[in-house]
């Protein structure tokens, strides 16, 4: 089936087009520039930007794919989770378009789509074998068990406070680095903002690994697969204050590299632990934080050691985009799932286990 996917859950207006499991177009317009001076996404500004970007982005995707609206067999749209007003723009637009074209519309889960995007790669085994997924984004940090990406997604663990991306964003602010924090902390860790240009040492400062003590890992404590990053952010703040008091010169690159290592160490350790516990030797990485080079590197190392086959989607498919929504939509169509009811709406706190609304 030829499916168009619409994504408007945050600050990216994404329109993707797939034919079955083949990617034809992935057009993304971001309102990031408008949010930078506020240090975070402003919902009202994001909604307005989606309204303005929707039609041009659809046109751009159709052009890229070399198809016309009349060719579409269905439309998939992010129903949630995300910013309520932003989601509503996409849902309303997708429903109107579908009605005009007389094609079915599928309201899908943004988080599941972040990992279902792997279906667009020929080597993907997501439709054949159970897979553990590590979903790391601006608003979520979760370990999922995908027994069937179309209808059986289990939440194994999640952050109990900040998401990984949020930790990067908040810590960047603390360090005086620009928003979004993920890329700027990585750059700082590589020495970009330092006078000497030298990369930071990952072991220069010892920051906490949240919920990783033996006691936390005991299965009956319930935190074996959970994450916590708010203590890490506080530890960085305390360490900066201490250096200030003592007149100690901390290298920004060292702080950034040590912080990054603390996040990445816990994420990779727990994801590998989940694969081992469940006897599922397949791990799929997804979400915006998957763009992090150190995360990819350490995860690859640890998966290799543990005999786990690691899948990491290409960068442009890790951050928010319409192609991932189209990919999940196409899979639901292929499985013969019924489209969403005509009156479905945006669900800002949609549960990750609800693949289709």
Asked whether 261 and 294 are in contact (CB, 8 A), the reply is yes
* Choice from 31, 228, 292, 340 touching ligand ATP (CB under 6 A): 292
- Contacting range for ligand ATP; rule: CB under 6 A; set: 31-39, 97-105, 250-258, 283-291: 283-291
Binders of Fe ion among residues 113 to 142 (CB under 5 A) are 137
- Taking the complex as a whole, the smallest distance from the CB of residue 201 to Fe ion amounts, in Å, to 31
Binds Fe ion (CB under 5 A): choice among 169, 254, 261, 320:
320
Segment contacting Fe ion by CB under 5 A, of 44-52, 176-184, 238-246, 315-323: 315-323
Interior angle at CA 112, CA 157 and CA 49, nearest 5: 115
Closest residue to Mg ion in the complex (CB) = 10
Helix H or strand E encompassing 131: strand 131-136
Which of 46, 284, 289, 352 is the binder for ligand ATP (CB under 6 A)?
Answer: 289
Task: Give me the 74-113 binding string for Fe ion, x by CB under 5 A, dash otherwise.
Answer: ----------------------------------------
Q: Which whole-number Å values give the CA distances from 298 to 268, 295, 301, in the listed order?
A: 7, 5, 5
Instruction: Indicate whether 288 belongs to the interface with ligand ATP (CB under 6 A).
Output: yes
Farthest-apart Cα atoms in the chain, separation:
69
- Residue 116, both tokens: 């279902």
Cβ closer to ligand ATP: 181 or 200? 181
DSSP 320: S
Q: State both tokens at 53.
A: 């970007």
Nearest to 323 by CA among 11, 20, 27: 27
Dist CA 84 CA 139 (whole Å): 14
What are the distances in angstroms from CA 295 to CA 65, 162, 233, 261, 284? 32, 18, 18, 8, 13
Question: How many residues bind to Mg ion according to rule CB under 5 A?
Answer: 3
Q: Which does 162 bind (CB under 5 to 8 A by kind): Mg ion, Fe ion, ligand ATP, none?
A: none
How crowded is residue 29: how many other Cβ atoms within 10 Å of its Cβ? 18
Binding site for ligand ATP (CB under 6 A): 9-10, 82, 110, 137-140, 165, 168-169, 180-183, 186, 287-289, 291-292, 319-320
Residue numbering of the annotated binding site for substrate: 135-139, 169, 182, 292
């Amino acid at each position: 089936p030829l499916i168009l996917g619409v994504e408007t859950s945050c600050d990216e207006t994404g329109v993707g087009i797939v034919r079955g499991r083949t990617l034809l177009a992935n057009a993304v317009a971001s309102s990031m520039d408008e949010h930078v001076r506020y240090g975070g996404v402003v919902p009202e500004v994001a909604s307005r930007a989606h309204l303005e970007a929707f039609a041009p982005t659809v046109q751009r995707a159709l052009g890229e794919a070399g198809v016309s609206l009349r060719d579409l067999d269905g439309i998939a749209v992010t129903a949630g989770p995300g910013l309520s007003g932003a989601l509503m723009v996409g849902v309303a637009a997708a429903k109107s378009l579908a009605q005009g074209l007389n094609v079915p519309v599928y309201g899908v889960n943004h988080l599941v789509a972040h990992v279902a995007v792997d279906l667009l790669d020929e080597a993907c085994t997501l439709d054949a074998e159970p897979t553990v997924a590590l979903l790391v984004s601006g608003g979520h940090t979760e370990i999922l068990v995908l027994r069937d990406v179309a209808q059986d997604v289990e939440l194994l663990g999640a952050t109990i406070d900040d998401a990984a991306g949020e930790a990067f964003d908040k810590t960047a602010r603390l360090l005086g680095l620009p928003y979004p924090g993920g890329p700027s902390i990585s750059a700082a860790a590589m020495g970009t903002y330092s006078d000497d240009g030298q990369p930071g040492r990952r072991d220069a400062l010892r920051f906490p690994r949240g919920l990783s003590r033996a006691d936390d890992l005991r299965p009956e404590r319930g935190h074996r697969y959970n994450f916590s990053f708010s203590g890490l952010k506080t530890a960085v703040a305390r360490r900066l204050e201490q250096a200030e008091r003592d007149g100690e010169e901390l290298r920004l690159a060292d702080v950034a590299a040590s912080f990054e290592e603390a996040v990445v160490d816990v994420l990779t350790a727990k994801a590998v632990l989940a694969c081992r516990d469940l006897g599922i030797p397949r791990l799929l990485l997804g979400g915006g934080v998957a763009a992090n080079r150190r995360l990819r590197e350490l995860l690859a190392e640890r998966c290799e050691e543990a005999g786990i086959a690691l899948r990491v989607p290409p960068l442009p498919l890790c951050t928010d985009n319409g192609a991932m929504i189209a990919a999940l939509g196409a899979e639901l169509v292929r499985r013969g799932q019924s489209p969403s009811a005509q009156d479905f709406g945006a669900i800002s706190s949609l549960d990750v286990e609800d693949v289709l609304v």
